[in-house]
Amino acid sequence: MTHSTSPKRGVLDVWLVSLMFLLLGAGIVLYGRRDWLPPLASRHGAGIDDMLRYLLFTTGSLLFVAFTALSWLVWAGGRRHVVTQRVAAARTEVVVSLLLGMLMAAVAEGGVLAIGMPVWKEYFEAAAPPDAVQIDVTAQQFFWNVRYPGADGVFGRVRNELVDEASNPVGLDSADARGADDIYLVNQFIVPVDRPVHIRLHSKDMIHSFFLPHLRVKQDVIPGMTPEITFVPTKEGTYELACAELCGLGHYRMQGIFKVVAQRDYERALREEASK
């Protein structure tokens, strides 16, 4: 019989480590199954939530199984005096590894292809419908310049050379008549419920990121690029807009207020703003 003398083997250690892994597996599931996401308020967001719930469920289950197995292996191995399974047959090693590898690939790639990609495609590839609410946003340290096109439905031209932080923060060109009725707000958005919202994003200085946690919208705004996003708010309410890309020392307080209201209230609010 083969025999080893050192180092010492403690019974208590085996108990503790085995129990710890068992409890961790259960703890992961119990902690993770609570509803952590901010309440949903957009149409495509339902798909993102499905994606997240699928992953939470699959990884939670697999971790529970894996931790239980680890706990058992430590428990059994810690009490065993002789090795009982020295080397598995090469075939067994390959089969076990590949089977589990493939299972994981199916979970991971399956999630991406079956649940993730349709949402991703719909979100990025759907052209903004003609009745979409148009908003033009210029981010800067540390606030959001918000512009609506006004009654004519067309945004006025802007030029960087005309920017004056006090009087003309987005550099609106007064020579362009189309800009005369543009509505300008700071950190305030108001949109109607159940209608597509089309937002064109710019940044003046740093990279910012337009993050609406409840609407499952996040889009970086890199200076020099003008990403456009379209989404449909589905629940009335007042939501918070956060900046999700480090943009300087005021990053943590670059907050916007995003109001989703009934169509009637939306029209009235814009009329009031226009008359100011």
Partner 1 sequence: MSHSDSFIRKYIFSTDHKIIGIQYILTGLAMALVGGTLAGLIRLQLGWPGLQWPLLGKLMPVGMPSGVMTPEFYMALVTMHGTIMVFFFMSFVLVSGFGNYVVPLQIGARDMAFPLLNMLSYWIGLLGAIVILLSFFVQGGAAAAGWTAYPPLSAVASAMPGSALGQTLWLLAMALFIASFTMSGLNIVATVLSLRAPGMSMMRMPLTVWSYFISAIMGLLAFPPLTAAAIMLLFDRHFDTSFFLPSGLIVAGKLLPNHGGSPLLWQHLFWFLGHPEVYVLILPALGIALDMLPVFSRKPVFGYRLSVYCLMIVAVLSMIVWGHHMFVSGMSPFSGEYFSISTMLITVPMTIIGVNMLGSLWGARITLATPMLFALGIIALFGVGGFGGLFLGNATADMQLHDTYFVVGHFHLMIGGVTLLGTFAGIYYWFPKMFGRQMSEALGKAHFWLTFLPFFTVFFMQHFVGLQGAPRRYYAFTTYEYLNRTHGQNVVISLVAFLLMAGQLVFALNFIWSLVAGRASERNPWHATTLEWETSSPPPHGNFVEIPTVHRWAYEYSVAGEALDYTPQTVPARQVAVTA
Which of the ranges 92-100, 177-185, 188-196, 260-268 carries the binding residues for partner 1, by CB under 8 A? 92-100
Residues 102-131, interacting with partner 1 (CB under 8 A): 102-105, 107-109, 111-113, 115-117, 119-121, 123-125
Binding mask 15-34 for partner 1 (x = CB under 8 A): --x--xx--x---x--xx--
Helix (H) or strand (E) holding 103: helix 90-110
Which residues 6+ apart lie within 8 Å of 115 measured at CB? Answer: 47, 50, 51, 54
Q: How many residues bind partner 1 (CB under 8 A)?
A: 113
Q: Is 13 a binder of partner 1 (CB under 8 A)?
A: yes
Binder of partner 1 out of 129, 152, 174, 255 (CB under 8 A): 255
Binder of partner 1 out of 167, 249, 264, 275 (CB under 8 A): 249
Which of the ranges 71-79, 126-134, 149-157, 259-267 carries the binding residues for partner 1, by CB under 8 A? 71-79
Which of the ranges 69-77, 126-134, 188-196, 266-274 carries the binding residues for partner 1, by CB under 8 A? 69-77
Say how many residues make up the chain. 276
Measured CA to CA, the distance from residue 15 to residue 66 in angstroms comes to 18
Burial class (CB in 10 A: 0-12, 13-18, 19+), 160: exposed
Burial class (CB in 10 A: 0-12, 13-18, 19+), 254: buried
- Considering beta carbons, is residue 190 or 206 the nearer one to partner 1? 206
Q: Least distance in Å: CB of 162 to partner 1?
A: 10
Helix (H) or strand (E) holding 72: helix 45-79
Binder of partner 1 out of 29, 62, 132, 154 (CB under 8 A): 62
Measured CA to CA, the distance from residue 270 to residue 190 in angstroms comes to 8
